[in-house]
């Protein structure tokens, strides 16, 4: 089968190149692949050989560009649609992204249908397997949190392999059983077809459920299990699908016992072989990126091309291509992120998201067209209903049984809510649809029934379950914790508990910092990293540099915290603490954790309704609310409660990295205080100059670090930062104007009533008003410190810009040198 | 780790009796202990630096200290020791054992108190039997995110928490008496609603997971 496909590619190389460019299929009204290639060939042939009477300066060549043109337009419309949906925060917070896309696809499909009453485009095998599937899988593999994945590998494999087989077999057999009773009427299907259908419909796309976890349920273990399952079961599904497909092709009558055995063997060979190919290519990619430092521009290209090659190679060897590219992504991410420069990494991240999101959008558009195309429909109530019932029921049963077994071996158990999320989150997505569309009508006589059932299932699960899962989980959670608001002390001690628990787990090694993992880390450090990571990145492990980094870190921390504490910029934060919920990214441009400057998105500031609603309550209540609020937002989270985010359509950065970094910096700071109290006496500016010199000398010695690069880098960063400061002002401006009008009056009352700490914030509001104005009006984007602040900062430097530069250079050191370090500790 | 010296059987039995771990658990933990100490028989504070995950724990130093706290090791005196043996290590970990339902009610109550005691000592750094405002403030300081943390914040949270504690357990206080710290009894009272027995336990596995799942 794989050979077939690659042969096809060879024949239509030109066409493929075109399709690759646009990432879109070129197909006429004919669905058959052969005629489509011929069609394409002849068209391109015409172009050169057509005798043109006379010379036309301008001619309309619509025929020539029609197919890619229409598709490009489609993608444009789809993207615009997405953009429009995202204008409203309300919609995106309620409706999951995939549901939005699928509705968009339906609308677009409807428009096309209304226009010419034909399905102008159909999904072909080449397009799906060669252009649409790889980006989706690669994206998931590349963004998979490695460490947690391997920690939970056992559970993930169980859910992905056993779970998928379970779903396939039970659904297939049950449908067959029901079919035998005769309820479904007369269908031309055998057992194998049912099993094939089972494998199609078993392809769970749980990524959609991940977005729910983000908001509702914070649990690292669940996240990684769901994510990992979703990634691996794509591979398993494709393998199963191919096995059953070839069984059907052979014909149920011709299958002997040996063939079943062969099927099972091939399942393992194909999967493991795919994984092996992926790992090989992943390491190859890592080695290649080691030597690309002079060709930064094409650096990101390597990532895509080599990953794609792993996919094609596996396909060529008829191994699981999906697993290959997934594991290629998993293996290379660590080294690639160390080797590539910051810009390249960003490029890779964005391009990856763009391709994956685009591919999924295209699949959903096909889905929409198929849904409105009456030619594809065959209605069989019993079949459709039973399919829906069986997939839901067996998913639940499968999850419950597997979780029950796994919980015997897991330290962090998966609780009831986790199981609900897993079962209910078993959405069927693009994969199921694509697979069913690609069935061969010659062998599967009821293909149309299968397609329409799958369409119903996809729509039902994505729209209905996708929309209801969040409220459901919330409701369950509320029901389970129907207790009074915890007291301050309880909350505090509870948090201490959580930290202790995770620490004791770490210490006693129950999570799995064990022998094998340590061996692996050592092996990695000794051999793999040496081979695959650039010298410059390795140097960052050197003693001198790390000491320097610590000094720099210390310097920046003390400066920022000092400046902040003295009030120069503190107002922003203190205001927000009281009235604006910034559980989203905070204004870290001014934070001590400077590293977060890079990726802040200030638009996500939401007014915290809880805090504002409670205005009317008594000052005492208010005080409590504020305190609780403070606690909830700013207490460090224990590891188990970390949020790891993944969305196919959005780039998210978890706050937890920040938290880790911050704690790291704190410990560093503390150690340094023990280490060298004398150095602190030195004048700050002098220290900076010193460290800069030091850096320069270190650089000279290490002569691999691209000096120039770093400089331009810092410039760019600087600009970024300036603009970011501006950005930060805008949303806070909104917040502030909101605050100023009703809140100041309110606050005066509060002040008289209470002498608690929110008083601090309120009194600062007055400062805020006068401080924010110069900030906002400053044209060049520099921060003008008000007189007052200058007075407040005893050691404040006269030129803030200069200081901020120094922070940037620190930041650079932080980015380029801390990352490999922290990575290496994995 | 086949080459690691394993404990003699009688010692395991002894330890199992005193700490309540099963012999399998003890063997696993012993292996872990040796791994952390690099094969030495005693453990110093530096050994905990080898655990990467612990690095991101904001109250790491407190937890590590708890392992070296004489009060937790069954000694009556206050202070810390420099090195602990495997037995000490087990003793501390035994605070985190799971309590199954087949214990008597008194036993459960006893274990709960033990666990709380452990926690209490973690707060009570100077060992005077009271959590003072200053001690409370310190731990809040540790816990609070630096991004928003000013000294005022943590001390005002500490104030509020102290006030709340005084209200909860100060029923028998004289009006003009000053509340100068949370005693252990007060602490018990505050924590009575938290299901400590279900919360403060780590599942010590019976089998060696190092081979099965990473």
Q: Could you tell me if A405 lies within 8 Å of chain B, comparing CB atoms?
A: no
Cβ atoms of residues B71 and B129 within 8 Å: no
- The values of phi and psi at residue B80, to 5°, are -120, 155
CB contact under 8 A, B147 and A488: no
Whole-prediction pTM value? 0.58
Written as six digits, the tokens of B96 are 């985190």
A62–B contact, CB cutoff 8 A: no
A180, A186, A188, A192: CA torsion to nearest 10: -20
Residue of A507, A576, A584 for testing the chain B interface, max B β-carbons within 10 Å = A507
Instruction: Using CB atoms, pick whichever of B28, B59, B156 lies closest to residue A756.
Output: B156
Contact B157 A630 (CB under 8 A): yes
Q: Do A499 and B157 touch (CB under 8 A)?
A: no
> Are B139 and B126 in contact, with CB atoms under 8 Å apart?
no
Radius of gyration of chain A (CA): 30
Beta carbons of A271 and A327 less than 8 angstroms apart: no
| C-alpha span between B92 and B70 (Å, rounded) | 10
Cβ A659–B56 below 8 Å, yes or no?
A: yes
**Which structure tokens are listed for B118?**
């452990």
Among candidates A161, A144, A176, A151, which has minimal Cα distance to A238? A161
Domain ranges in chain B are: 9-100, 105-198
Residues B152-205: tens digit of each pLDDT: 666 777 777 777 777 766 655 555 556 677 777 777 777 776 666 556 666 665
How is residue A394 written in tokens? 């067996």
What angle do helix axes A800-813 and A707-738 make, rounded to 10 degrees?
120
CB A560 within 8 A of CB A783: no
Cα dihedral value A402, A404, A405, A411, nearest 10: 110
Residue A553 near residue A664 (C-beta atoms within 8 A) = no
Instruction: Kindly determine whether residue A565 and residue B150, on different chains, have CB atoms separated by under 8 Å.
Output: yes
Interacting residues of A717 by C-beta distance below 8 A, sequence separation 6+: A597, A598, A808, A811, A812
Surface of A (646-685) touching B: CB under 8 A: 659-660, 662-667
Of A353, A355, A352, A365, the closest CA to residue A78 belongs to A365
ipTM: 0.83
Among chain A residues, the shortest Cα distance to B29 is held by A508
As a whole number of angstroms, the distance between CA A461 and CA A428 comes to 6
How far away is chain A from the Cα of B106, in angstroms, using its nearest Cα? Answer: 23
Report whether pLDDT(B93) > 50.
yes
pLDDT value of position B152? 66
- Cβ of residue A627 closer than 8 Å to a chain B Cβ: yes
pLDDT tens digits along B13-34: 777 777 777 777 788 788 778 8
Q: Do A588 and B149 touch (CB under 8 A)?
A: no
- Residue B53 has its nearest CB partner, among A492, A631, A639, at A639
Long-range Cβ contact pairs of A310-314 (< 8 A, separation 24 or more): A310/A277, A310/A278, A310/A280, A310/A281, A310/A282, A311/A134, A311/A138, A312/A6, A312/A130, A313/A277, A313/A281, A314/A273, A314/A274, A314/A277, A314/A278
Q: Cβ neighbours of residue A489 under 8 Å, at least 6 residues apart? A: B161, B164, B165, B168, B190
Task: Give the A window 511-530 contacts with B, CB below 8 Å.
Answer: 511-518
pLDDT digits (tens, 9 = 90+) for A281-328: 998 988 888 887 777 788 888 889 999 999 999 989 988 888 899 999
- In A, minimum Cα distance to B156 occurs at A757
Same CATH fold, B105-198 and B9-100? yes
Which pLDDT does position B146 carry in this prediction?
Answer: 55
- Phi and psi torsions of A172, nearest 5°: -60, -50
Which residue, A204, A195, A160, is CA-closest to A174?
A195
Residues of chain B positioned with their CB less than 8 A from the CB of A563: none
Determine whether the interchain pair B156/A757 forms a contact, defined as Cβ–Cβ distance below 8 Å. yes
Helix B133-143 vs helix B151-169: angle between axes, to the nearest 10 degrees? Answer: 130
A696 inside 8 A of chain B by CB? no
Q: Name which CATH class applies to B9-100.
A: mainly alpha
Looking at residue A565, its pLDDT comes to: 46
Which residues 486-505 of chain A have a CB within 8 Å of chain B?
Answer: 487-490, 492-497, 499-505
pLDDT for the residue A308: 93
Angle of the A430-437 helix axis to the A447-459 helix axis, nearest 10: 170
Structure token pair of residue A278: 């992926």
Chain B residues whose beta carbon lies within 8 Å of the beta carbon of residue A409: 205, 207, 209, 212-213
Q: How far is A737 from chain B (nearest CA, A)?
A: 22
Most A CBs within 10 Å, among B148, B179, B181, to test the A interface = B148
Q: Say whether residue A214 is in contact with chain B using an 8 A CB cutoff.
A: no
Instruction: Tell me the shortest Cα–Cα distance from A656 to chain B, in angstroms.
Output: 10
pLDDT of amino acid A28: 37
Element housing A639 (H / E): none
Question: Among residues 151-170 of chain A, which lie with CB inside 8 Å of chain B?
Answer: 151-155
Chain centroid offset of residue B74 CA: 13
User: Is A708's Cβ below 8 Å from some Cβ in B?
Assistant: no
State the SS3 of A656-674: HHHHHHHHHHHHHHHHHHH
Q: How many CB pairs under 8 A join A and B?
A: 208
Residues of B in contact with A556 (CB under 8 A): none
Would you call B214 and A516 a contact, using CB atoms and an 8 Å cutoff?
yes
Neighbouring-strand partners of residue B42: B85
Taking CA atoms, what residue in A is nearest to B204?
A510
Question: In a 3-state reduction of DSSP, which class is residue A511?
Answer: coil
Could you tell me if A577 lies within 8 Å of chain B, comparing CB atoms? yes
Positions in chain A whose pLDDT score sits under 50:
1-49, 482-484, 511-514, 539-548, 563-622, 639-643, 677-826
pLDDT of residue A121: 64
Task: Tell me if chain B has a CB within 8 Å of the CB of A633.
Answer: yes
Closest CA to A561 of B148, B55, B154: B148
Are residues B119 and A155, on separate chains, in Cβ contact within 8 Å?
A: no
CA distance A135 to A137: 5
What is the rounded average pLDDT of the residues B82-99? Answer: 78
Considering only the beta carbons, identify the residue of B144, B160, B211 that sits closest to A635: B144
What pLDDT is attached to residue A486?
56
Q: Is B207 helix (H, G, I), strand (E, B) or coil?
A: coil
Q: Which residues, numbered 531 to 570 in chain A, qualify as contacts with chain B under a Cβ-Cβ cut-off of 8 Å?
A: 561, 564-565, 570
A407 — contact with chain B (CB < 8 Å)?
A: no
Cβ-based contacts of A523 with chain B (< 8 Å)? none
Token pair of B25, please? 């658990």
Min distance A320 CA to chain B CA atoms (Å): 24
Name which of A137, A532, A154, A534 is nearest A329 in CA terms: A137
pLDDT at residue A170 in the model: 92
Query: Which of the residues B37, B61, B131, B147 would you substitute to probe the A interface, choosing the one with the greatest number of A C-beta atoms within 10 Å?
Result: B147
Q: Tell me the CB-side half-sphere exposure of residue A699, using CA atoms within 13 A.
A: 15
The reply to whether residue B193 touches residue A490, judged by beta carbons under 8 angstroms, is: yes
Q: What is the pLDDT of residues B138-156, one digit of tens each?
A: 777 777 655 555 566 667 7
Q: Which residues of B touch A623 (CB under 8 A)?
A: 160
A581 beta partners: A606
Neighboring chain A residues of B159 at a CB cutoff of 8 Å = 756-757
**Chain B residues within an 8 Å CB radius of A511:** 53
- Reported as a single tens digit per residue, the pLDDT across B36-61 is 777 777 887 777 777 766 776 777 77
From chain A, the residues in CB contact with B150 under 8 A are 564-565, 570
Angstrom CA distances, B153 to A661, B143, B145, stand at 22, 12, 11
Taking CB atoms and an 8 Å limit, are B54 and A507 in contact across chains?
A: yes
Q: What is the pLDDT of residue B108?
A: 72
The backbone torsions φ and ψ at residue A484, rounded to the nearest 5 degrees and listed phi first, read: -70, 160
Fold of domain B105-198: Recoverin; domain 1 (1.10.238)
Residue keyed to tokens 């205080």: A673
Cβ–Cβ gap B58/A636 under 8 Å: yes
B171 and A691 in contact (C-beta within 8 Å)?
A: no
State residue A783's pLDDT score: 37
């Amino acid at each position: 089968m794989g050979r077939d496909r690659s042969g096809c590619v060879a024949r239509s190389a030109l066409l493929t190149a075109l399709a690759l460019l646009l990432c879109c299929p070129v197909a006429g009204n004919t669905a058959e692949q052969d005629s489509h290639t011929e069609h394409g060939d002849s068209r391109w042939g015409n172009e050169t050989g057509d005798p043109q009477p006379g010379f036309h300066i301008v001619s309309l060549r619509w025929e020539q560009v029609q197919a890619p043109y229409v598709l490009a337009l489609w993608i444009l419309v789809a993207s615009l649609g997405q953009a429009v949906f995202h204008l409203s925060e309300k919609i995106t917070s309620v409706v999951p992204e995939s549901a939005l896309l699928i509705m968009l696809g339906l609308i677009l499909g409807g428009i096309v249908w209304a226009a010419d009453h034909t399905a102008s485009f159909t999904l072909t095998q080449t397009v799906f397997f060669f252009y649409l599937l790889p980006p989706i899988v690669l994206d998931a593999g590349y963004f998979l949190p490695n460490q947690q994945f391997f920690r939970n590998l056992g559970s993930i494999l169980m859910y992905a392999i056993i779970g998928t087989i379970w779903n396939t077999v039970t659904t297939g057999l049950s449908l067959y059983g029901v079919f035998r009773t005769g309820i479904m009427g007369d269908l031309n299907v055998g057992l194998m077809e049912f099993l094939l259908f089972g494998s199609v419909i078993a392809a769970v796309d749980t990524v959609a459920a991940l977005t729910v976890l983000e908001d509702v349920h914070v649990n690292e273990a669940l996240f990684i299990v769901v994510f990992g399952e979703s990634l691996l079961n794509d591979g398993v599904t494709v393998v199963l699908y191919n096995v059953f497909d070839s069984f059907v092709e052979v014909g149920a009558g011709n299958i002997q016992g040996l063939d079943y055995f062969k099927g099972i063997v091939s399942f393992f060979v194909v999967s493991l072989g795919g994984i092996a190919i992926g790992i090989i290519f992943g390491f190859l990619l890592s080695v290649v990126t080691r030597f690309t430092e002079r060709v930064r521009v094409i650096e990101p290209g390597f990532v895509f091309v080599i990953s794609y090659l792993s996919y094609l190679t596996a396909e060529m060897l008829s191994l699981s291509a999906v697993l290959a590219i997934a594991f290629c992504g998993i293996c290379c991410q660590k080294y690639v992120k160390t080797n590539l420069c910051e810009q390249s990494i960003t490029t890779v991240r964005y391009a990856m998201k763009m391709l994956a999101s685009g591919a999924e959008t295209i699949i959903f558009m096909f889905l929409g067209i198929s849904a409105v195309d009456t030619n594809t429909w065959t209605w069989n109530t019993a079949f459709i209903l039973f399919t829906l019932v069986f997939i839901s029921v067996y998913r639940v049963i499968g999850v419950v049984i597997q979780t029950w077994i796994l919980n015997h071996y897991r330290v962090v158990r998966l609780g009831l809510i986790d199981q609900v999320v897993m079962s209910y989150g078993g959405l069927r997505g693009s994969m199921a649809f694509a697979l069913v569309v690609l069935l061969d009508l010659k062998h599967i006589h009821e293909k149309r029934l299968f397609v329409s059932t799958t369409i119903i299932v996809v729509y039902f699960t994505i729209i209905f379950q996708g929309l209801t899962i969040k409220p459901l989980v919330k409701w369950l959670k509320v029901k389970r914790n129907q207790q009074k608001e915890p007291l301050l002390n309880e909350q505090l001690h509870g948090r201490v508990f959580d930290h202790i628990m995770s620490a004791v787990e770490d210490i006693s090694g129950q999570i799995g910092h064990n022998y094998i993992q340590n061996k692996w880390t050592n092996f990695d450090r000794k051999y793999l990293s040496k081979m695959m990571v650039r010298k410059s990145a390795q140097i960052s492990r050197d003693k001198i540099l790390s000491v320097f980094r610590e000094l720099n870190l210390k310097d920046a921390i003390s400066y920022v915290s000092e400046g902040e504490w003295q009030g120069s910029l503190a107002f922003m934060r203190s205001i927000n603490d009281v009235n604006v919920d910034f559980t989203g990214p905070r204004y870290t441009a001014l934070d001590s954790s400077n590293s977060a400057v890079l990726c802040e998105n200030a638009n996500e500031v939401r007014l915290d309704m809880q805090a504002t609603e409670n205005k009317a309550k008594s000052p005492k209540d208010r005080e409590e609310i504020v305190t609780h609020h403070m606690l909830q937002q700013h207490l460090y989270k224990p590891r188990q409660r970390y949020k790891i985010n993944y969305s196919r359509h959005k780039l998210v950065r978890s706050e937890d990295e920040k938290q880790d970094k911050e704690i790291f910096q704190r410990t560093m700071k503390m150690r340094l205080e023990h280490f060298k109290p004398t150095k602190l006496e030195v004048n700050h500016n002098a220290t900076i100059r010193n460290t800069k010199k030091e850096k320069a000398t270190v650089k000279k010695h290490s002569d691999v670090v691209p000096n120039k690069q770093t400089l331009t880098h810092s410039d760019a960063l600087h600009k970024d930062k300036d603009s970011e400061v501006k950005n930060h002002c805008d949303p806070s401006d909104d917040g502030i104007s909101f605050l100023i009008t009703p809140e100041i009056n309110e606050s005066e009352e509060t002040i008289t009533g209470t002498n608690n700490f929110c008083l601090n914030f309120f009194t600062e509001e007055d400062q805020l008003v006068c401080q924010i104005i110069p900030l906002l009006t400053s044209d060049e984007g520099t921060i003008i410190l008000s007189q007052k602040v200058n007075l407040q900062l005893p050691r404040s430097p006269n030129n803030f810009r200069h200081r901020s530069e120094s922070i940037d250079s620190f930041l650079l050191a932080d980015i380029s040198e801390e990352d490999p370090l922290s990575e290496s500790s994995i | 780790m086949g080459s690691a010296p394993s404990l003699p059987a009688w010692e395991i039995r002894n330890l199992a009796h005193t700490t309540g771990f099963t012999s399998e658990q003890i063997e696993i933990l012993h292996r872990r202990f040796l791994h952390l100490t690099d094969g030495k028989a005693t453990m110093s504070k530096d050994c905990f630096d080898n655990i990467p995950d612990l690095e991101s724990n904001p109250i790491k130093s407190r937890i590590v200290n708890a392992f070296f706290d004489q009060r937790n090791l069954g000694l009556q005196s206050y202070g810390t020791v420099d090195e602990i043996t495997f037995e000490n290590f087990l003793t501390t970990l035994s605070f985190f054992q799971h309590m199954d339902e087949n214990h008597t009610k008194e036993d459960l109550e006893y274990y709960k108190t033990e666990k709380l005691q452990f926690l209490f000592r973690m707060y009570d750094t100077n060992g005077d039997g009271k959590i003072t405002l200053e001690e409370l403030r310190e731990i809040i300081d540790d816990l609070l995110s630096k991004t928003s943390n000013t000294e005022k914040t943590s001390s005002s949270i500490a104030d509020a928490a102290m006030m709340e504690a005084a209200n909860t357990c100060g029923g028998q206080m004289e009006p003009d008496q000053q509340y100068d710290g949370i005693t252990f009894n007060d602490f018990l009272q505050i924590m009575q609603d938290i299901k400590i027995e279900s919360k403060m336990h780590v599942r010590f596995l019976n089998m060696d997971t190092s081979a099965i799942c990473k």
